[in-house]
Amino acid sequence: MNKITVDKPIIPDNRFGHDGELEMRRRLPSPIYQWDKFTLNNMIQREVGLGMSRFIGAQNFFFVATSDKNGNCDASFISTFTHQKIDEIFPTCLILDNRKELIFPYFDDDTFVKNIKNIKENPHVGLIFIDFIRIGRIRINGKAFLEELTDEVKAIWPRCVGYVRVLIEHAYGNCPARIPKLYPIELIENDLNEVNQLYPLWEHSIFQLRKSNKIELELVEFIESQSFFFIATANNDGHCDASFRGTQGDHGSGKKLPVAKVFNDGKTLIFPDYSGNALYNSLGNILLNPKISMVFVDFTRIGILKVTGQVFIEEVNTDVKNIWPEAQAFLRVEIEEIDGNCTEIIPRMIPL
């Protein structure tokens, strides 16, 4: 599938879909979802309702997608986990009273540096919130502003050095398919030594790597053992989207399938596309801008890895069908850079 050209400008707040999304709906039509302006206007909101607000407020992490002025994307894991004390509980993200804006903090560390640079160049962001306990997800796209601290914000997040305000353009729930059920370690009655025997922690040194354009062997094992990851894409007008990709297993055999596979001596990564809600937010963006960022987070064995590169949408073949029988297409990523992140920001959760 080749990149398409756009003859007219993309409307930034068009909930029916830009040219890339419309083209993907034509190429991979859904037997279930037939979107039109009426159904999408009902689904995609311009503000956060009470139920969404409660959902978002209950999460202690989320993922954000940004891109620079040239369309180079970044997928980041956002958490306040290491910035609160035992006797402190504060939100990772806060919906403002008008329900049309949200704010979240950033701290004096290197986890948000690239996002700050990107937002200064291109204010459009995508956010996705996942609840691994009750199984659900919400996506928000909008325009971000870097703000200086106020006393009110400092009272909420005492150690933050700044905060981001997002003017919400799109807010909607997403299909919860392929989200694994995970429980915070503090809610588990098992002895910690027993948990560590069942789920041995990754050696943190493998994530403290220099930036590279290939995936080394120990990181191949990390990637191919995951059940999900997150991607950041942007269309050619700079509007970003954050998306969840997961695989829990083939429904026919119950066998756990890899979420992605690494080939070509660590320089190529592929992952499947499954039939979902047929909005094609990610694939539509990729048609217009083939730059992608992926972040793999292991909440159970504690590890995090970011992969960026050029991505291509491919038709399924026999080899891909043998790995992912239900895939309707697959994506091939030619890796340009991998980068480890600090693992201390990850709250531990395990399956039961």
For residue 141, the domain's CATH number is: 2.30.110.10
**Lookup: tokens for 281:** 């937010």
Number of domains in the chain: 1
User: Can you give the pLDDT at residue 209?
Assistant: 72
Kindly report the pTM of this predicted structure. Answer: 0.91
Residue 137: pLDDT above 50? yes
Residue 343: pLDDT above 80? yes
The closest alpha carbon to 324, from 233, 246, 243, belongs to 246
The answer to the question of residue 105 being in a domain is yes
User: Can you give the pLDDT at residue 246?
Assistant: 94
Contacts of residues 27-36 at CB distance under 8 Å and 24 or more positions apart, as own/partner, are 27/1, 28/275, 28/278, 28/280, 28/283, 28/328, 28/329, 29/278, 30/275, 30/277, 30/278, 32/275, 32/278, 33/277, 33/278, 33/279, 35/278, 35/279
What residue spans of the chain are helical by DSSP H?
19-27, 37-43, 50-57, 113-121, 151-156, 192-198, 217-224, 281-288, 318-323
The answer to the question of residue 31 being in a domain is yes
User: Can you give the pLDDT at residue 42?
Assistant: 82
User: Can you give the pLDDT at residue 88?
Assistant: 60
Other Cβ atoms less than 10 A from the Cβ of 222: the count is: 20
Q: What are the pLDDT digits (tens) for 207-240?
A: 887 778 999 998 999 999 999 999 999 999 999 9
The answer to the question of residue 8 being in a domain is no
Average pLDDT over residues 126-143: 96
Identify the band that residue 263 occupies on the pLDDT scale cut at 50, 70 and 90. Answer: very high
Residue with the larger pLDDT of the pair 6 and 226:
226
User: Can you give the pLDDT at residue 15?
Assistant: 61
User: Can you give the pLDDT at residue 253?
Assistant: 52
The answer to the question of residue 197 being in a domain is yes
d(CA 96, CA 102): 5
d(CA 223, CA 240): 24
Domain that holds residue 133: 17-349
The 8-class DSSP code of residue 343 comes to G
The closest alpha carbon to 75, from 261, 292, 245, belongs to 292
Instruction: Yes or no: say if 331 and 314 are a contact pair by the CB < 8 Å rule.
Output: yes
The answer to the question of residue 12 being in a domain is no
Identify the band that residue 186 occupies on the pLDDT scale cut at 50, 70 and 90. Answer: confident
User: Can you give the pLDDT at residue 36?
Assistant: 81
Average pLDDT over residues 99-128: 94
Other Cβ atoms less than 10 A from the Cβ of 134: the count is: 10
Interior angle at CA 69, CA 45 and CA 137, nearest 5: 30
The answer to the question of residue 277 being in a domain is yes
Phi and psi, residue 101, nearest 5° = -140, 155
The answer to the question of residue 103 being in a domain is yes
d(CA 174, CA 46): 15
The answer to the question of residue 255 being in a domain is yes
